[in-house]
Structure 1
Amino acid sequence: MRKSVYDLKKPLLVMSVFTMIACSLCSFTMAGEFTKTIKREFDISANGTTYLSNKYGKIEVKTWDKNRVKIAVTIVVKEGSEEDAQKVFNAISVNFSNGADYVKAETAIEQIRRSWIWDDGKADYKINYEVYVPTTINLQVDQRYGDVYLASVSGKTKLTVKYGNFKTESVGDGSNFELAYGNGSIDHAENAYVGLSYSKLTINEANDLSMNSAYSGLNASKLNSLTTTAKYDNYTLGTIKSLKATGMYSKFSATNAGAVNISGQYNSVAMSEISKSLDLDLNYGSCNVSFSKGLTNATIKANYTDVTMKVLPDLCCYQLDAAANYAGVRYPQAMNVTYEVQKPTSHVVKGHVGKSDAPIIKASVNYGGIKVLGN
């Protein structure tokens, strides 16, 4: 007798249901979470150094009023059984060392051996540090594949984070930050160095900052001075007293600037309320700046770049010395023009608004226009 289609499908249906139940049980079994905590405490001098090195987790550094370092490392493992979790615990260790003026904790991970033949060899685990240090301590922190939080310390901080994020409060003079493939936040820094690659950094306030960046972004509210080399970056600044930058394919902007010095190729410059000096050397870029009271001088050299300059009302007097090749010069009607020569391929203008011995604004552009707005 020939079996019906329904009869042929029954074994397949039963097998499918069994497979679904087995997979559900497997998923449930592998959802277990196991933890192991390692705790250590060490005496340290008030101005000593704490070294921390970790990966695949987070580091949180807090402060207290003791000349001691307290470290708690919590290892969290998600596995199907306690036996398999123990194999992961056995492969992870924290190496401690210390002296009168230093404490060091470093994560070490051996190859994790697994028993299940269908497993891909990757364990699901996290290694989290919680550390208490004196407020005057120096810090050296190296983190991979995880985040870092640092409380305020008056000592020097050296922080390296790759494939993670960091947040710091106040750090001491001479601090150093290296960030790759992550986001960073600094509340306050004195003199510091920052290296960025494929990252974004936010700074609330800093004194003197030195930077080297690529494919990154900086957003800073208040800086005293910034010296940087930038490639494919975006610098968005609030108030800055002194900026010196060498850039390529980068954008530089500020809402209130003092002295500005920028050079390079394929850069975009937008600086507002420049109150001291401007020195630009640009190729294949754009320039949009404004000048305010206190300006002493401004010099712009550019090729294949359009230049727009706005003179704000509080800068009542200035001189203009502008020359454009293969472009023109536009200037305010109120300007007292003392010299002007316009040819088919060039335009030269000299003049002044207010006193003739006022600060000089010089602009020389090839293959780009010059526009002066305002007074």
Structure 2
Amino acid sequence: MKTTYRKKMSLLRRYRLGVLLLLGGLMLMSFTDLHQQSKKVTETFRIDGVGDLNIDNLHGDIYIKRWNQSEIKIEVTIDAKSRNDNAVEKFVQDSEIAFSQDGNHVYAITQLAEVDLKKKWWQWGIDKSSFSINYEVYVPEMVHLELENEHGDIRIESYEGDLDVDLAHGELFTQFITGKTDLNIEHSEVVMRGMSNGKMDLLFSEFEVIRAGNLEINSTRTEIDIEEALDIRAYTKYVEFKIGSMDNFINEGAYDEIKIGSTRYLDINTRFSEISVDVCEVGFNADMYHGEFEIDHISLAFGGGNLKFEHTEVDLVFDGDMVLLIDSKYTDLDLEGMDGPDQDPSDHKDSRFFKGNSQNAKILRTVSRYGSLTLND
């Protein structure tokens, strides 16, 4: 019986060892037996005057460069690697770029071959199969760009044409764009040195620009950082917004955190948000529900404003004379250095408070329900 048992155990150990050696060999093959191929496609298109370029790509990068030629040159590199040599060869050979030209309008559309480059079952967990379609494009100074890319980056040097970008799961980097900009960005990161006027839809992304003109922003769950701009109109939800300086800011949003360095004028309608402003020069119109609103300095140039809030904490500091006309209920008032009726009651109906010379002072009209209002503290 003992001899039979030992034989069985010996056979079992040999079987296990054989399985381990087989799996080890397969794993080693999966690491070492990697096939790679590539091909390069180049096309040149002559244009007269202002041109238009459309590129539709996926799984690769687009790099736009300027040159002093009256033509558009497009160089595309198709790369593929996999453990299946036949699949790699077929993918590279059958993948194409559909080029066309209609007058001064040039098109380049990526058409991927339908080839399975995926791993076999024993290669699960080893991510070695991949492909990329990379564009390097040379354009004249005045070209309008329409670029669409998914799972890849876009890089653009400074140029003077309009820019229209649809980007998902990638990065966009540009120098200064002097034409109109239209961005549709999802799950991506955008860094721009400068832009003139722009319109953008941002979703689950990060956006940064140093200097901008007039912007219209529609954004959800995005981080936005703007150093300097003229006018901004923003529709936001769950957005972290940081702005250095601008002329006018108009915002309709909810669940946002907005920090502003300086602005001439504010117009905000928001819910469940926090608004913080260092300097407001001319005036503001604010309608807030369940949030926080703070302005550290309202300048001597203040020309008047309107404030309506509910369940909100408001803290404002006026540098000059001002008059407060308030209709409040269940509101805690802290009006430092202001003359008027007794502040202790939480309910006021058309009450008038003033700081300094009330004859020439500008008026802040306020309607409040629940919350607190602190002035000049």
Q: TM-score if structure 2 supplies the norm length?
A: 0.90
Residue 165 (structure 1) aligned with residue 171 (structure 2): yes
| Cα distance in structure 1, aligned partners of 2:342 and 2:16 | 93
1:186 maps to 192
1:270 maps to 276
Residue 299 (structure 1) aligned with residue 301 (structure 2): no
| Cα distance in structure 1, aligned partners of 2:89 and 2:343 | 85
Q: Identify which of 89, 93, 115 aligns with 1:90.
A: 93
Q: 1:179, 1:199 within 8 Å by CA — same for their partners in 2?
A: yes
> Residues 26 and 157 (structure 1 numbering): CA distance in 2 closer, same or farther, change over 3 Å?
same
SS at match of 2:135: strand
Residue 317 (structure 1) aligned with residue 321 (structure 2): yes
Ranges of 4+ aligned residues in structure 1 off by more than 6 Å: 114-117
SS at match of 1:184: strand
| Cα distance in structure 2, aligned partners of 1:7 and 1:338 | 100
2:333 maps to 329
Residue 195 of structure 1: how far off its partner (Å): 0.8
Residue 343 (structure 1) aligned with residue 358 (structure 2): no
2:224 maps to 218
The one-letter code sitting in structure 1 at the alignment partner of 2:144 is N
Q: Deviations over 1:71-111 (max 9, x none)?
A: 11111111225422112113421000114412111101242
Q: Identify which of 24, 27, 34 aligns with 1:20.
A: 24
SS at match of 2:213: strand
Residue 186 of structure 1: how far off its partner (Å): 1.8
Q: Identify which of 84, 108, 113 aligns with 2:111.
A: 108
| Cα distance in structure 2, aligned partners of 1:276 and 1:86 | 66
Residue 369 (structure 1) aligned with residue 372 (structure 2): yes
What is the alpha-carbon root mean square deviation over aligned residues?
2.3
The one-letter code sitting in structure 2 at the alignment partner of 1:301 is K
The one-letter code sitting in structure 1 at the alignment partner of 2:79 is V
The one-letter code sitting in structure 2 at the alignment partner of 1:235 is F
Residue 346 of structure 1: how far off its partner (Å): 4.5
| Cα distance in structure 2, aligned partners of 1:21 and 1:12 | 14
| Cα distance in structure 2, aligned partners of 1:212 and 1:280 | 19
Q: 1:244, 1:261 within 8 Å by CA — same for their partners in 2?
A: yes
SS at match of 1:343: coil
Residue 22 of structure 1: how far off its partner (Å): 2.8
The one-letter code sitting in structure 2 at the alignment partner of 1:196 is L
SS at match of 1:66: coil
> Residues 139 and 344 (structure 1 numbering): CA distance in 2 closer, same or farther, change over 3 Å?
closer
| Cα distance in structure 1, aligned partners of 2:40 and 2:367 | 66
SS at match of 2:229: strand
SS at match of 2:231: strand
2:292 maps to 286
Q: 1:259, 1:277 within 8 Å by CA — same for their partners in 2?
A: yes
Residue 238 (structure 1) aligned with residue 244 (structure 2): yes
Q: Identify which of 11, 14, 17 aligns with 1:10.
A: 14
Q: Deviations over 1:114-171 (max 9, x none)?
A: 7987589x95111111111012211110111111111111011111101222111111
Q: TM-score if structure 1 supplies the norm length?
A: 0.91
The one-letter code sitting in structure 2 at the alignment partner of 1:256 is S
2:264 maps to 258
1:125 maps to 131
2:39 maps to 36
> Residues 114 and 239 (structure 1 numbering): CA distance in 2 closer, same or farther, change over 3 Å?
closer
The one-letter code sitting in structure 2 at the alignment partner of 1:356 is Q
The one-letter code sitting in structure 2 at the alignment partner of 1:261 is D
| Cα distance in structure 2, aligned partners of 1:354 and 1:186 | 47
| Cα distance in structure 1, aligned partners of 2:215 and 2:282 | 19
- The count of corresponding residues between Structure 1 and Structure 2 is 367
Residue 50 of structure 1: how far off its partner (Å): 1.0
Residue 14 of structure 1: how far off its partner (Å): 3.3
The one-letter code sitting in structure 2 at the alignment partner of 1:343 is P
SS at match of 1:211: strand
> Residues 115 and 144 (structure 1 numbering): CA distance in 2 closer, same or farther, change over 3 Å?
closer
Q: 2:258, 2:274 within 8 Å by CA — same for their partners in 1?
A: yes
| Cα distance in structure 2, aligned partners of 1:22 and 1:373 | 75
| Cα distance in structure 2, aligned partners of 1:115 and 1:209 | 43
Residue 204 of structure 1: how far off its partner (Å): 0.8
